[in-house]
């Protein structure tokens, strides 16, 4: 996803002279193309994220369209107050990009995990919270964010994420994407965990004769309330899965809406439990540790879902 | 196009500063707004910037080529509001609801969209300089030759983000950014040189690659000299402005109780006498 980001941001910079990229001293050679073509519009701000965010806000208030890029925990929590005050309170159109989000950097330990960003940013007014699931969806939401005027956080993966929805079918900010039709279960997969949800759907139909609908979510805030109302007419239960803490995450956001709107939906929320992961490992290992991998999704659904076939029997 | 600054003589500026000081004291009394000492120490710097330096047109407060001023020590907003009104960004009558429920005039500058003349909603310390730097860099990118100015407090230099911005400004060789540090030697609860190791402050800014001048920040001739003599220096510029907290009212000067104390009616009258201003 980060290569797609570098490519797309360069294309966007070609067509919009207001676009500025600020990086927190990461992405060695990643932005060489942009730097070659538009040297005056790339700023390596060093390992000084609080300043970087304030600088971006100052630029946005002066008519530019700054995009801030560094590793997710450092472009979110390290400079949180600058995001709240300089960006959101001023309604400054800064696009904040957190790379290597969720458990992408599982091998680097909890300092580099970002499992709290949704919950923190949900509470900040004006800020939209975006979570693309593959390279084409990243390109779409980035274009949308820069076409709009809102402060925006975009949480992306690292590299090698499988392409799920081809570029021609990719959807923009706020649009859910049904990638698998099903009738027995419904999975709402948030951002980069999409691939695990699709794998789970495959296993469910093959091994359990359970047909699961899979809906990819690229926008945590604002919440797609219409989608939930529609799902309530088709399903009795939904499962949310996210590479994020269960505390204050997408699942809890949906749960609160279901309760407050009295929607007839049972919900199971899969996400990271309330602990730091002390051991290191691959992203796949970390997803298994937090029970958000395909097998864990299958387990959560199979144990309380009956397939059409079995319910008919 | 923004207007040229008003070229008032320094003696005229002294009269304006006294009038501003009186209005600030009176408004503090009427509205219960604190930080009087912090406001009074930087009045001369504010008056100098708004009357002699800034290329601004209060009738066109969002003009793209205007100079930008950020009050990074946002708790001196009561001083800034009086000065913006006097310069014509909004009528003085707007200040009549100061501090009341629903007013936008309180302890800190509101969001720029809420009041003409405000460039940044400061109040949380350490935010103004990075934003000012972003605005100064935007001038370069957009090829719009304006300058950016900010006033920081000495206590504010506790914040790490100030020094992050100082390093980036030097690395970017930014020449259209000038700050004044209102070095009144106090922060909220004690001496600013003792709470953290602030001194030697001028040497710190120099070491960070800035063009530094060290002056009496309550003296218009010295402020004028600091601004004009370094105008062509290619580095970012820092004026270490030695000031007196509570300046202009003898019983407030260098007494940190006036960080939070609100003057009573008799104290307002005494202040007017000392400032040579007719109490209104």
> Got the DSSP string for A62-122?
TT-EEEEEEEHHHHHTTTHHHIIIIIIITT--PEEEEESTBTTTGGG-GGG-B-SHHHHHH
On the CB side of A5, CA atoms within 13 Å amount to 29
Q: Which two tokens stand for residue A300?
A: 């959560």
Q: φ, ψ for residue B249 (rounded to 5)?
A: -125, 110
With CB atoms and an 8 Å threshold, state whether B127 touches A54: yes
E strands, chain B, are 68-71, 148-153, 177-183, 186-187, 190-191, 211-216, 237-242
A212 band by pLDDT with thresholds 50, 70 and 90 = very high
With CB atoms and an 8 Å threshold, state whether B161 touches A54: yes
Using DSSP bridges, classify how beta strands A65-71 and A19-23 pair: parallel, antiparallel or unpaired. Answer: parallel
Q: Does B137 touch chain A (CB under 8 A)?
A: yes
Closest chain A CA to residue B114: A90
Closest chain A CA to residue B132: A58
Per DSSP, helices labelled H in chain A are 2-15, 32-37, 49-60, 72-76, 80-82, 117-122, 135-147, 194-208, 225-234, 250-261, 283-289, 294-302, 308-312
Neighbour count for residue B195 (Cβ, 10 Å): 14
Q: Which two tokens stand for residue B250?
A: 């003898």
pLDDT at A310: 45
Q: Are B134 and B70 in contact (CB under 8 A)?
A: no
With CB atoms and an 8 Å threshold, state whether B137 touches A55: yes
Active-site residues of A: which are they?
A: 49
| pLDDT tens-digit map of A284-309 | 999 999 999 999 999 999 988 876 54
Q: Does B112 touch chain A (CB under 8 A)?
A: yes
Interface test with A, best of B118, B141, B158 (most A CBs within 10 A): B141
CA B158 to chain A, closest CA, distance in angstroms equals 14
| DSSP β-bridge partners for residue B122 | none
pLDDT at A305: 82
pLDDT at A313: 34
B10 band by pLDDT with thresholds 50, 70 and 90 = confident
Q: Which two tokens stand for residue B147?
A: 């300058």
Q: Does A55 touch chain B (CB under 8 A)?
A: yes
| pLDDT tens-digit map of A136-151 | 999 999 999 999 999 9
Q: Does B201 touch chain A (CB under 8 A)?
A: no
Size of interface A-B (CB pairs under 8 A): 102
| pLDDT tens-digit map of B195-245 | 999 999 999 999 999 999 999 999 999 999 999 999 999 999 999 999 999
Neighbour count for residue B222 (Cβ, 10 Å): 18
**What is the spatial distance between Cα B157 and Cα B126, in angstroms, rounded to a whole number?**
7
pLDDT at B7: 62
Q: Does B83 touch chain A (CB under 8 A)?
A: no
Closest chain B CA to residue A82: B127
Q: Does A65 touch chain B (CB under 8 A)?
A: no
Closest chain A CA to residue B166: A51
pTM of the model: 0.96
A contact residues 103-162, partner B, Cβ 8 Å cutoff: none
| pLDDT tens-digit map of B131-174 | 999 999 999 999 999 999 999 999 999 999 999 999 999 999 99
Q: Which two tokens stand for residue A208?
A: 């359990």
Q: Does A51 touch chain B (CB under 8 A)?
A: yes
Q: Which of B265, B268, B244, B246 is nearest to B257 (CA)?
A: B246
| pLDDT tens-digit map of A149-206 | 999 999 999 999 999 999 999 999 999 999 999 999 999 999 999 999 999 999 999 9
Interface pTM (ipTM) of the complex? 0.96
Per-residue b/e over A39-72, b at no fewer than 16 CB within 10 Å? Answer: eebbbbbeebbbbbbbbbbbbbbbebbbbbbbbb
With CB atoms and an 8 Å threshold, state whether B124 touches A81: yes
């Amino acid at each position: 996803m980060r290569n797609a980001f570098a490519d797309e941001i360069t294309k966007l910079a070609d067509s919009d002279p207001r676009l500025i990229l600020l990086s927190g001293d990461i992405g060695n050679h990643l932005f060489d193309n942009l730097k070659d073509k538009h040297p005056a519009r790339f700023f390596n701000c060093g390992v000084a994220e609080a300043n970087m965010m304030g600088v971006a806000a100052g630029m946005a208030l002066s008519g530019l369209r700054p995009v801030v890029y560094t590793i997710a925990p450092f472009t979110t929590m390290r400079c949180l107050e600058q995001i709240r005050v300089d960006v959101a309170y001023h309604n400054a159109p800064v696009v904040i990009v957190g790379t290597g989000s969720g458990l992408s950097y599982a091998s680097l330990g909890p300092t580099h995990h970002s499992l709290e960003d949704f919950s923190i940013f949900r509470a900040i007014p004006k800020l939209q919270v975006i979570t693309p699931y593959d390279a084409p969806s990243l390109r779409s939401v980035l274009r949308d964010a820069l076409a709009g005027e809102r402060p925006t956080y975009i949480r992306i993966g690292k590299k090698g994420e499988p392409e799920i929805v081809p570029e021609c079918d990719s959807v923009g900010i706020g649009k859910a994407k049904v990638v698998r039709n099903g009738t027995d279960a419904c999975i709402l997969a948030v951002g980069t965990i999409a691939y695990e949800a699709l794998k789970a759907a495959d296993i469910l139909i093959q091994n359990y004769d359970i047909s699961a609908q899979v809906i990819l979510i690229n926008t945590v805030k604002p919440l797609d309330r219409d989608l939930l109302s529609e799902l309530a007419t088709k399903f009795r239960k939904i499962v949310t899965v996210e590479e994020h803490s269960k505390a204050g995450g997408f699942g809890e956001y949906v749960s609160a809406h279901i309760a407050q709107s009295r929607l007839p939906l049972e919900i199971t929320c899969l996400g990271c439990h309330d602990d730091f992961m002390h051991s290191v490992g691959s992203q796949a290992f970390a997803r298994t540790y937090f029970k958000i991998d395909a097998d864990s999704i299958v387990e959560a659904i199979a144990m309380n879902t009956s397939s059409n076939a079995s319910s008919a029997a | 196009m923004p207007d040229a600054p008003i070229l008032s003589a320094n003696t005229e500026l002294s009269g304006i500063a006294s009038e501003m000081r009186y209005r600030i004291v009176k408004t503090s009394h009427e509205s219960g707004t604190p930080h009087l000492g912090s406001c009074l120490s930087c009045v001369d710097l504010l008056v100098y910037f708004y009357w002699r330096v800034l290329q601004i047109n209060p009738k066109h407060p969002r003009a793209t080529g205007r100079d930008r001023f950020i009050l990074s020590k946002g708790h001196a907003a009561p001083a800034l509001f009086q000065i913006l009104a006097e310069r014509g960004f909004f009528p003085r009558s707007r200040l009549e609801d100061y501090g009341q429920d629903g007013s936008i005039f309180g302890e800190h500058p509101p969001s720029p969209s809420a009041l003409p003349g405000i460039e940044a909603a400061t109040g949380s310390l350490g935010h103004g300089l990075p934003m000012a730097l972003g605005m100064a860099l935007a001038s370069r990118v957009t090829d719009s030759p304006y300058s950016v100015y900010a006033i920081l407090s000495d206590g504010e230099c506790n914040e790490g983000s100030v020094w992050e911005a100082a390093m980036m400004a030097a690395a970017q060789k930014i020449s259209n950014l000038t700050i004044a540090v209102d070095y009144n030697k106090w922060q909220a609860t004690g001496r600013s040189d003792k709470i953290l190791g602030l001194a030697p402050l001028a040497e710190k800014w120099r070491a960070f690659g800035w063009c530094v001048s060290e002056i009496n920040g309550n003296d218009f001739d010295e402020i004028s000299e600091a601004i004009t003599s370094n105008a062509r220096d290619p580095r970012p510029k820092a004026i270490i402005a030695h000031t007196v907290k509570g300046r202009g009212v003898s019983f407030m000067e260098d007494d940190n109780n006036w960080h939070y104390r609100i003057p009573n009616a008799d104290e307002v009258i005494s202040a007017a006498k000392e400032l040579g201003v007719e109490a209104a």
